[in-house]
Amino acid sequence: MKKDDISRLLQRYLSAKEEGKEPYFDADQIDEMLSSFEDSNDYTYFDEVLDLGLKLHPGNSALRIKKSRQFVYNEDYESALAMLKNIAETDNQDLDMLKLECYCSLDQYSKVLEITEELIARDCDYLEEVFEEISPILTDLDMNEEARDFVDRGLALFPDNLILKNELCYIFEAEGDVPRAIELCNELIDKNPYSYEYWFTLGRLHSTVGDYEKAIEAFDFALTCDDSDTELKILKAYCLYMNGSYEKAIEEYQEIEGDEEVTRRISPLMAKCYVRLEQYEKAYQLLSTVINDPDMEDGATNYINYINCCTETGRNDEASSKLTKAVQLYPDNVRILSLLSLSLLDSGKKEESVEITNKIFKIIDSNNIDPEIQEECNRLIHAGEYLLSIGEVDKAISYYKKVLQINPKTPLIHIHLAMAYLHNQDLKNFANHINQIPEEDLFRLIRKIKSGAFGDLDIDSDNEEGPIQPKDLAKEFLKNKDNSN
């Protein structure tokens, strides 16, 4: 039906409504009006016209399917199924798709298979589309095992279907088998080397396993296919940052065009790059625009970076006040508390520092801490060093053991424990940890022993300087870029 004809139908409906009358339309006219509403994405009169149509033609299949779709949109799957089951039609694609979607959403995969097997037996002409449309629904519902089974069934029937292979790629990723996902994604790219989606997926997969060089390369190919995706540009810039290309990451961020929300998102990310480049004033200026935003993401990290910039640019009073505010805002954040603990040591308040350290370990024991943040806790080994230096050996050992529990691969942790046990003349435990020292750390230990510097071991295996004194702990914590980010 022509657009003008549909406009006349709608005007007739509105005129009758204004006069308080109920106009009559045949089922096809109602269906045409509803379809025009859907095409124009204007649903102002959709519900009332649909209700009028069902009142005038209660048995019409097309209108009942549209009503069922409305139920599905409102997540009322039981009502949708009740209406769909009363439609006595076969080989109706919309009808079958809606039924399958409802059963997926109701976690009734057996019914999904039952309907699918019926469609296979009938050899319906839209069977391939059934697998293409239902597989992503199962994936989106986190029904990973069912999605894998359904995709495997589909590929058994349509082995060259790229949509199903693409879905299998997502399933491999969800299962944690990223290498197979990458392999399959490369196969898809061989089939269609100009697919923006495939290149984007490949880049994202490489980024998840830390292969940032290949991720950046894939993102560049994706951008040649379509350079309009802001999210891709942000992710590429992030990979450049993770790959150590901080200047290029900044250039990428600066080229991103977007609204205020985009600017708000990328400002802290750019600031991280400037921190890595030790351009603290530029980082400070960026962070000062977002630090007071209550809705900013990763607020604790932004505070750490901001305090770092304040310290490096001589704004010590501001650094102190921001640390106080950060502790108030994030009272259970391990990195913030770590910085507070080290700051207290810097001020000579060792008892208060130990109290904060104990709080940190309680938080860790509660298992409510992100694994990435646990890595930051290892810097607390400095507090153990300080306790050892003042003779509180048992307390230092308890801290070292806690660090070992958090991350057994902490650099030099077995050396620290060995030296502490040797301090206590506990040769059994000394030998136990000596035997667990990695080869690269063992050579360093031998050099320390030859120099007689038992007490001069530090946590950073790349740093050959002497121990960090208590008054410098907070500054060293901030200067360590891993703690700042």
Least confident range from 233-237, 389-393, 427-431: namely 389-393
Q: Would you state the pLDDT for residue 299?
A: 80
Dihedral, CA of residue 333, residue 337, residue 339 and residue 345, to nearest 10: -170
Domain end (from 330, 363, 386): 330
Closest CA to 302 of 343, 345, 265, 350: 265
Size (the chain), residues? 485
Contacts of 230-236 spanning 24+ positions with Cβ under 8 A: 230/256, 230/257, 230/258, 230/262, 232/200, 232/203, 234/265, 234/266, 234/269, 235/203, 235/204, 235/207, 236/203
Domain end (from 330, 360, 393): 330
Q: Would you state the pLDDT for residue 463?
A: 36
Band the pLDDT of 464: cuts 50, 70, 90.
Answer: very low
Is 419 inside a domain boundary? yes
Assess whether pLDDT exceeds 70 at residue 479: no
Is 449 inside a domain boundary? yes
Assess whether pLDDT exceeds 90 at residue 274: yes
CA–CA distance, 200 with 220 (Å, rounded to integer): 9
Mean pLDDT of 379-396: 72
Mean pLDDT of the chain: 83
CA–CA distance, 471 with 220 (Å, rounded to integer): 47
Helix axis angle, 3-18 relative to 27-40, nearest 10°? Answer: 100
Q: Would you state the pLDDT for residue 345?
A: 79
For 48, the token pair is 């009332």
Is 148 inside a domain boundary? no
Cα separations (Å) of 366 from 89, 236, 298, 369?
57, 35, 21, 8
Beta-sheet strands, E only, within 323-476:
none
How many Å is the Cα radius of gyration of the chain? 32
Mapped onto helix, strand or coil, the DSSP state of residue 22 is coil
Q: Would you state the pLDDT for residue 440?
A: 60
- 430 and 343, same structural domain? yes
Mean pLDDT of 372-398: 67
Under 8 Å between Cβ of 418 and 428? no
Is 204 inside a domain boundary? no
State which residues form the domain around 290.
Answer: 259-330
Closest CA to 424 of 459, 457, 388: 388
- 382 and 322, same structural domain? no
- 384 and 450, same structural domain? yes
Assess whether pLDDT exceeds 90 at residue 133: yes
pLDDT (tens digit per residue) in 418-439: 888 888 888 888 878 877 777 6
pLDDT (tens digit per residue) in 54-106: 999 999 999 999 999 999 999 999 999 999 988 888 889 999 999 999 999 99
Mean pLDDT of 402-414: 75
Measured at the CA of 279, the angle between CA 274 and CA 283, to 5 degrees, comes to: 55
Measured at the CA of 20, the angle between CA 16 and CA 23, to 5 degrees, comes to: 40
> Most confidently modeled of 67-81, 290-304, 347-361?
67-81
Under 8 Å between Cβ of 477 and 342? yes
Is 93 inside a domain boundary? no
- 428 and 319, same structural domain? no
- 359 and 277, same structural domain? no
For 152, the token pair is 């495997």
Under 8 Å between Cβ of 165 and 189? no
Is 463 inside a domain boundary? yes
Under 8 Å between Cβ of 203 and 215? yes
User: Domain holding 389: CATH number?
Assistant: 1.25.40.10
CA–CA distance, 93 with 130 (Å, rounded to integer): 8
Q: Would you state the pLDDT for residue 419?
A: 83
Burial of 464 (0-12, 13-18, 19+ CB in 10 A): exposed
The pTM for the full model equals 0.67
- 416 and 363, same structural domain? yes
- 341 and 271, same structural domain? no
Measured at the CA of 214, the angle between CA 276 and CA 186, to 5 degrees, comes to: 155
- 318 and 430, same structural domain? no
Least confident range from 19-23, 106-110, 119-123: namely 19-23
Is 374 inside a domain boundary? yes
- 431 and 343, same structural domain? yes
- 436 and 364, same structural domain? yes
DSSP state of 436: T
How many domains is the chain built from? 2
Q: Would you state the pLDDT for residue 453?
A: 43
- 348 and 265, same structural domain? no
Band the pLDDT of 349: cuts 50, 70, 90.
Answer: confident
Under 8 Å between Cβ of 261 and 292? no
Band the pLDDT of 107: cuts 50, 70, 90.
Answer: very high
Q: Beta-carbon neighbour count of residue 61 at 10 Å?
A: 17
Mean pLDDT of 273-285: 94
Under 8 Å between Cβ of 33 and 52? no
Under 8 Å between Cβ of 134 and 108? no
pLDDT (tens digit per residue) in 247-273: 999 999 999 987 888 888 899 999 999
Domain end (from 282, 297, 330): 330
221-256 burial, b at 16+ Cβ within 10 Å, e below that, comes to bbbebeeebeebbbbbbbbbbebebbebbbebbeeb
Is 401 inside a domain boundary? yes
- 465 and 364, same structural domain? yes
Assess whether pLDDT exceeds 70 at residue 379: no
Under 8 Å between Cβ of 464 and 453? no
